[in-house]
C-alpha cells in the first residue's frame, strides 16, 4: 500500500519537480526520480506483466537521460504513463472484462448486461483520452518549453482527467435512472 501511494505521488509531482529542477540540477541526476518510480513498482514485477513493461520503459528513459545528460527522456515519462494506461485499458477490452467493469464490480458484483455494455463504452472513452493526452504530452515534450510541458503534464492533464471522471460520474447517475440499474 505504501509503495502504491509513493508511486502515485512520484507520478503526480514528477512534472513539477522536473520543472523546478530544470537548469539547477543536471538531467542525469534528475533521472533518479525515474529510478525511484521504477523502484516503487518492483514488488509487483513477479505477478504483473504490464508492470514489467512499465518498469522497463522507465529504466530505458532513465538510462537515456543519464547517458545523454538530456531532459527529453525525462519529459517523456508522462507519455510512458499514458501508453501504459492505454495498454492496460485496451487490453482489458480485448480479453475482458473491461477495466471500468472491473472497477464497477468492486461495489456492484452483479452487473446487468446493459451496465456491462456501458462500462465497456466508458473504457473505450478512457482509451481515447489516453491517446489524446499522450499525444499532447509528446508534443509539449518535443516542441514546448519546460514550463509549458510541466503546466500541461502536471496540472492541465490532471484537470482534464478529473473533468472526464466527473462528467462520467454525472452521466452514470442519469444512465442508472434511465435504465433502472
Q: Is a pLDDT exceeding 80 seen at residue 51?
A: no
- Summarised one tens digit per residue, pLDDT across range 112-134 is 999 999 999 999 999 999 999 99
> Grid coordinates standing for 74?
525525462
- How far is residue 137's CA from residue 139's CA, in Å, rounded to a whole number? 6
pLDDT tier at 69, thresholds 50, 70, 90:
very high
In this predicted structure, what is the pLDDT of residue 142? Answer: 98
Residue 44: pLDDT band with limits 50, 70, 90 = low
Give me the chain's average pLDDT, please.
Answer: 89
Whether 123 and 101 have beta carbons less than 8 Å apart is answered as: yes
> Exposed/middle/buried for 14, CB within 10 Å: 0-12, 13-18, 19+?
buried
Band the pLDDT of 91: cuts 50, 70, 90: very high
Q: Where are the strands (E) in the chain, listed by range?
A: none
- For the chain, what are the domain ranges? 1-70, 76-181
In percent, the amount of the chain with pLDDT more than 90 equals 62
pLDDT of residue 12: 79
Residue 46 pLDDT grade (very low, low, confident, very high; cuts 50, 70, 90)? low
Using the predicted structure, report yes or no on whether residue 40 has a pLDDT greater than 80: no
- pLDDT digit string (tens) for 5-33? 877 788 778 888 888 888 899 999 989 88
For range 81-95, the mean pLDDT: 92
In the DSSP assignment, the letter for residue 98 is -
Amino acid at each position: 500500500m505504501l509503495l502504491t501511494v509513493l508511486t502515485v505521488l512520484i507520478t503526480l509531482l514528477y512534472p513539477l519537480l522536473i520543472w523546478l529542477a530544470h537548469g539547477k540540477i543536471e538531467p542525469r541526476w534528475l533521472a533518479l526520480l525515474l529510478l525511484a518510480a521504477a523502484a516503487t513498482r518492483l514488488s509487483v514485477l513477479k505477478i504483473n506483466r504490464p508492470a514489467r513493461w512499465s518498469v522497463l520503459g522507465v529504466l530505458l528513459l532513465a538510462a537515456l537521460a543519464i547517458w545523454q545528460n538530456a531532459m527529453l527522456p525525462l519529459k517523456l515519462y508522462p507519455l510512458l504513463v499514458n501508453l501504459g494506461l492505454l495498454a492496460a485499458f485496451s487490453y482489458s477490452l480485448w480479453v475482458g472484462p473491461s477495466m471500468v467493469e472491473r472497477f464497477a464490480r468492486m461495489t456492484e458484483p452483479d452487473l446487468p448486461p446493459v451496465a456491462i455494455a456501458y462500462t465497456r463504452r466508458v473504457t473505450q472513452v478512457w482509451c481515447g483520452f489516453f491517446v489524446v493526452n499522450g499525444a499532447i504530452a509528446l508534443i509539449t515534450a518535443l516542441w514546448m518549453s519546460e514550463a509549458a510541458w510541466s503546466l500541461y503534464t502536471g496540472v492541465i492533464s490532471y484537470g482534464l482527467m478529473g473533468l472526464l471522471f466527473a462528467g462520467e460520474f454525472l452521466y452514470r447517475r442519469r444512465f442508472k435512472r434511465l435504465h433502472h440499474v
